[in-house]
Amino acid sequence: EAQVTQNPRYLITVTGKKLTVTCSQNMNHEYMSWYRQDPGLGLRQIYYSMNVEVTDKGDVPEGYKVSRKEKRNFPLILESPSPNQTSLYFCASHPAGGMSYEQYFGPGTRLTVT
Amino acid sequence: GDSVTQMEGPVTLSEEAFLTINCTYTATGYPSLFWYVQYPGEGLQLLLKATKADDKGSNKGFEATYRKETTSFHLEKGSVQVSDSAVYFCALSGVSGGSNYKLTFGKGTLLTVNP
C-alpha cells in the first residue's frame, strides 16, 4: 500500500529535550515536506526537500532541522523544543513533474512541549 | 505571495442539507486547486482537485469548479451526512523560489452535521 508513515503519533516532552519525528514514504517520491497545523492558522510549511541531500526552508523553519540522507526518509529534528512548538505535524510527499503537484500526507504527529 | 481565503465557520448543518464552503485564492500563474478533508483524529486526505480553469473536481458527492475569473474554488454538496463531519481545507499548489512545490492552505472550516 502506498503511504507516508510518521512516528511517533503522539509525543509529550519537556522544554529543551532534543527529539526527532520520523517520516518515511514508499512511493519513490522526490519531494518531501513538513507542515505544522495550528488552530486558526491552517497548515504552514516548515521545510522541504527536492531530493537526497537537497533541503530548504519553508515558511516557518525557525527551531527546526531536517535531513534527507535517503530518498524515502525525511526526519524532522527539534534540537531544543519550546512550548510554542506544540502543534500537529504532518509529513507529505509528491513526485517530481506531473500536472497537479498533489501531495500525500502522513497521519500526523501531535507534539506537546511543556 | 500566494494565499487562500476560506469561510472559517464553524458550520453546523442538519443531515440532508445543502453545503457550500467558499474558497478564494490569490496566486501568480496557474495553480492547481485542492480540497483536503481531515476527519476527527486523522490526517489529511485529498477530497478533490482541479488543475486548470473550468475544471470540475468531484468525489463522494462533493464538487468544486475552478473559476479563474472569480479566483474561486467553492466546495458544494447537495445532501450532507453525519459522516461528513470534519475539517475541510482549501489549498493551492504553486512554485516558490523556482523549486519549492508547496501547498498553501486556507485556515480550515469545521463542519458538523447533526442527525
Q: What is the mean pLDDT of residues A44-65?
A: 93
pLDDT of residue B64: 98
Does the distance separating the beta carbons of B32 and A102 come in below 8 Å? yes
Q: Is the pLDDT confidence value at A14 over 70?
A: yes
Does the distance separating the beta carbons of A99 and B32 come in below 8 Å? yes
Contact call for residues B33 and B92 (beta carbons, < 8 A): yes
Q: Chain A within 8 Å of B103 (Cβ-Cβ)?
A: yes
Segments of B1-115 assigned E as strands: 3-6, 11-14, 19-21, 23-26, 32-38, 44-50, 56-59, 62-65, 75-77, 86-96, 100-105, 109-114
Distance CA B49, CA A75 (A): 28
CA distance A95 to chain B (A): 10
Residues paired with residue B64 on neighbouring β-strands, in sequence order: B57, B75
Q: Chain B within 8 Å of A99 (Cβ-Cβ)?
A: yes
Q: What is the mean pLDDT of residues A43-62?
A: 93
Per-residue pLDDT of chain B (115 residues; tens, 9 = 90+): 889 999 888 999 999 999 999 999 998 878 889 999 999 888 889 999 998 899 999 999 999 999 999 999 999 999 999 999 999 999 998 766 665 677 889 999 999 999 9
pLDDT of residue B24: 97
pLDDT of residue B98: 61
Residue with cell 490569490: B26
Q: Is the pLDDT confidence value at A99 over 70?
A: no
Q: Chain A partners of B34 at a C-beta cutoff of 8 Å?
A: 100, 102
Q: What is the mean pLDDT of residues A76-83?
A: 97
- What residues contact A94, with CB distance under 8 A and at least 6 apart? A29, A31, A101, A102, A103, A104, B101
pLDDT of residue B99: 59
Q: What is the mean pLDDT of residues A83-93?
A: 96
Chain A residue closest to B42 (CA)?
A: A107
Q: Is the pLDDT confidence value at A98 over 70?
A: no
pLDDT of residue B95: 66
Q: Chain B within 8 Å of A51 (Cβ-Cβ)?
A: no
A-B interface: how many C-beta pairs under 8 angstroms? 64
| Pick from A40, A46, A28, A63: nearest CA to A55 | A46
CA distance A37 to chain B (A): 9
Q: Is the pLDDT confidence value at A74 over 60?
A: yes
Contact call for residues A43 and A58 (beta carbons, < 8 A): no
Contact call for residues A56 and A109 (beta carbons, < 8 A): no
Number of H helices, E strands in chain A: 0, 11
Cell numbers at B111, concatenated: 463542519
Contact call for residues A68 and A32 (beta carbons, < 8 A): yes
Does the distance separating the beta carbons of A90 and B102 come in below 8 Å? no
pLDDT of residue A79: 95
pLDDT of residue B28: 80
Contact call for residues B107 and A42 (beta carbons, < 8 A): yes
Distance CA B57, CA B91 (A): 13
Distance CA A32, CA A15 (A): 27
